[in-house]
Amino acid sequence: MADKIQFYPLDIAYKIEKEKPIIYLFGTTSDKKKICVVDENFNPYFFVILKNQDDISIFREKMQNNLLGY
């Protein structure tokens, strides 16, 4: 298990390596040292806010079939 460390995040970036997203958190520790924390276990996600009580199952089906046109 990794050590625990307290830090203040200042920036975030991600890269896709071998078809897997990797998150980089840049910040400073409480004693002013620069730090970069790498998270290789991040699973991308997004939120959807539907209008006018639209049915989420219809949206999900369109997403799975790439029918949204974005």
pLDDT of residue 6: 92
Q: Which residues does 8 contact at the CB level (< 8 Å), separation at least 6? A: 27, 28, 29, 30
Q: Is the dihedral of CA 22, 28, 33, 34 positive or negative?
A: positive
Whether the pLDDT of residue 69 is over 60: the answer is: no
pTM, entire model: 0.63
For 9-16, what is the mean pLDDT? Answer: 95
